[in-house]
């Protein structure tokens, strides 16, 4: 007769919690019944505010904490998890963070979640962590809740639309948060994205866009722009844009680099400085939809910084010290910090 498995010491819940709703609260309540302690891992923890990620890590922690009884709050720990766009590395990061928190990789852990669709496949990727599937907890979708927040004529109208699907404490949080200066900008960007998506609504297949990006290094600095248009208006990015019909990816990359920053050297110099190319194709990397980018890394070594000036889609172009990039992670558009990290090995630590 086999022995009964020992009860879990920790329950693990993973999510982005943008924004915290009743189905997520039900999942967390189940986790608290399964183990004496629970760790909530909050994804997209260091992303800039955007229609998809309107709340900071700290704001999401506050939403979750307010939703549970005060007696249970000390049983919950929170950990920030960054997007790394590599499933294997992400799983390693998650398990490493939990082991560090609990003090051992051998801690008895139960993973609590629900495999509702292919986006939940990650729940099966954690060796040694049995999955407790809580099942469907109603038809609640965070994307639709965020849309209600952006489209309602008034804040009271938005909160009324959310009342049946979020905890009362989330409504209280949103009532205060909506008085901060973030919501009008997020609404404007959401509307621009919705208008862009509507242009392709009649296409026979969902569109797949192809773009190019350039990482240009000179000595200990890298060339960045500040975006002048939505999506991501005001955020930092690497120079880039859409590929043209009659250009190769390399030709489009050089054209966009020159148009947005004025950076232009002889073709032989550019070819000599090209050190690597990579494709970034995670389905969730862009708010525009399915966007695949070809990124080119140029390293010009030790030389004087070429003159640059922001133009076209760039409100500003500037040379930024590489050792300052890690602290700027939450200022970048989409996955542009991760593009930089891939070529420059920034690997900031939480």
Domain final residue, candidates 151, 184, 217: 184
Residue 243, classified by CB atoms within 10 Å of its CB into exposed (0-12), middle (13-18) or buried (19+), is: buried
More confident residue, 157 or 296: 296
In a shared domain, residues 142 and 250: no
pLDDT over threshold 90, residue 10: yes
Burial pattern 310-342, b for ≥16 Cβ within 10 A else e, equals bbbbbebbbbeeeeebbebbbbbbbbbbbbbbb
4 located within any domain:
no
In a shared domain, residues 164 and 273: no
Distances, alpha carbon 28 to alpha carbons 56, 114, 144, in Å: 20, 12, 21
The pLDDT value given to residue 2: 46
In a shared domain, residues 141 and 262: no
122 located within any domain:
yes
Q: How confident is the model at residue 244 (pLDDT cuts 50, 70, 90)?
A: very high
Q: Please list the residues that pair with 12 across neighbouring strands.
A: 39, 111
Taking a C-beta distance cutoff of 8 angstroms, is the pair 289, 194 a contact? no
In a shared domain, residues 252 and 149: no
Count of structural domains, the chain: 2
Taking a C-beta distance cutoff of 8 angstroms, is the pair 105, 97 a contact? no
In a shared domain, residues 215 and 135: no
Residue 220 CB neighbours (<10 A) = 12
Closest CA to 222 of 277, 263, 254: 263
In a shared domain, residues 31 and 171: yes
In a shared domain, residues 157 and 15: yes
Share of residues in the chain with pLDDT > 90 (%): 79
In a shared domain, residues 160 and 213: no
The pLDDT value given to residue 5: 64
**What's the average model confidence in pLDDT over 66-86?**
94
The pLDDT value given to residue 134: 82
CATH number for the domain spanning 231: value is 3.90.79.10
**Model's pTM, two decimal places?**
0.90
The pLDDT value given to residue 168: 96
Q: Cα–Cα distance between 273 and 297 in angstroms, integer?
A: 8
33 located within any domain:
yes
In a shared domain, residues 142 and 276: no
The pLDDT value given to residue 86: 86
Give residue 94's domain range.
10-184
200 located within any domain:
no
Looking up tokens 């009964």 gives 4
pLDDT over threshold 50, residue 34: yes
In a shared domain, residues 179 and 278: no
Domain final residue, candidates 123, 151, 184: 184
pLDDT, tens digit (0-9, with 9 covering 90-100), for 137-194:
666 788 899 999 999 888 899 899 899 999 999 999 999 999 999 999 999 999 999 9
How many residues in the chain? 350
56 located within any domain:
yes
- In which region does residue 301 sit, left (phi positive, over 0), alpha (psi from -120 to 50) or beta (all else)? left
297 located within any domain:
yes
In a shared domain, residues 228 and 152: no
Taking a C-beta distance cutoff of 8 angstroms, is the pair 253, 214 a contact? yes
29 located within any domain:
yes
Q: Strands of 101-250 (E only): list them.
A: 109-113, 131-133, 208-218, 221-227, 236-237, 240-242
The pLDDT value given to residue 47: 95
Q: Cα–Cα distance between 345 and 261 in angstroms, integer?
A: 24
Q: Cα–Cα distance between 95 and 150 in angstroms, integer?
A: 35
One-letter-per-residue 3-state SS of 193-226: HHHHHHHCCCCCCCCEEEEEEEEEEECCEEEEEE
278 located within any domain:
yes
Which of 13-17, 117-121, 226-230 shows the lowest per-residue confidence on average (mean pLDDT)?
117-121
In a shared domain, residues 158 and 288: no
**What's the average model confidence in pLDDT over 331-350?**
88
- Tokens representing 138 are 């109603």
**What's the average model confidence in pLDDT over 47-52?**
96
pLDDT over threshold 80, residue 213: yes
CATH number for the domain spanning 19: value is 3.40.50.620
């Amino acid at each position: 007769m086999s022995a009964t498995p020992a009860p879990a010491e920790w329950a693990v819940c993973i999510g982005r919690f943008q924004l915290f709703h009743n189905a997520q609260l039900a999942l967390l309540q189940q986790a608290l019944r399964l183990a004496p302690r629970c760790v909530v891992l909050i994804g997209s923890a260091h992303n800039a505010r955007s229609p998809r990620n309107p709340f900071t890590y700290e704001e999401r922690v506050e939403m979750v904490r307010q939703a549970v009884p005060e007696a249970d709050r000390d049983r919950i720990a929170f950990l920030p998890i960054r997007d790394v766009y590599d499933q294997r590395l992400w799983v390693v990061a998650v398990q490493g963070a939990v082991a560090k928190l609990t003090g051992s990789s051998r801690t008895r852990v139960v993973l609590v979640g629900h495999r509702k669709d292919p986006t939940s496949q990650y729940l099966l990727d954690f060796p040694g962590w049995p999955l407790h599937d809580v099942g469907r907890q109603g038809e609640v979708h965070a994307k639709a809740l965020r849309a209600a927040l952006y489209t309602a004529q008034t804040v009271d109208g938005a909160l009324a639309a959310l009342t049946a699907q979020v905890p009362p404490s989330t409504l209280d949080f949103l009532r205060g948060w909506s008085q901060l200066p973030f919501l009008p900008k997020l609404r404007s960007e959401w509307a621009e994205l919705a208008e862009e998506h509507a242009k392709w609504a009649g296409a026979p297949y969902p569109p797949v866009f192809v773009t190019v990006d350039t990482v240009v290094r000179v000595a200990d600095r890298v060339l960045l722009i500040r975006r002048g248009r939505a999506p991501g208006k005001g955020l930092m990015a690497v120079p880039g844009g859409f590929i043209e019909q009659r250009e190769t990816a390399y030709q489009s990359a050089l054209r966009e680099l020159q148009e947005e920053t004025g950076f232009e050297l002889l073709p032989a110099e550019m070819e000599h400085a090209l050190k690597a190319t990579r494709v970034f194709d995670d389905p969730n990397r862009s708010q525009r939809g399915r966007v695949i980018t070809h990124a080119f890394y140029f390293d010009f070594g030790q030389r004087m910084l070429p003159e640059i000036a922001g133009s076209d889609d760039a409100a500003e172009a500037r040379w930024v010290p590489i050792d300052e990039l890690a602290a700027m992670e939450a200022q970048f558009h989409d996955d542009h910090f991760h593009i930089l990290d891939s070529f420059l090995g920034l690997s900031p630590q939480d």
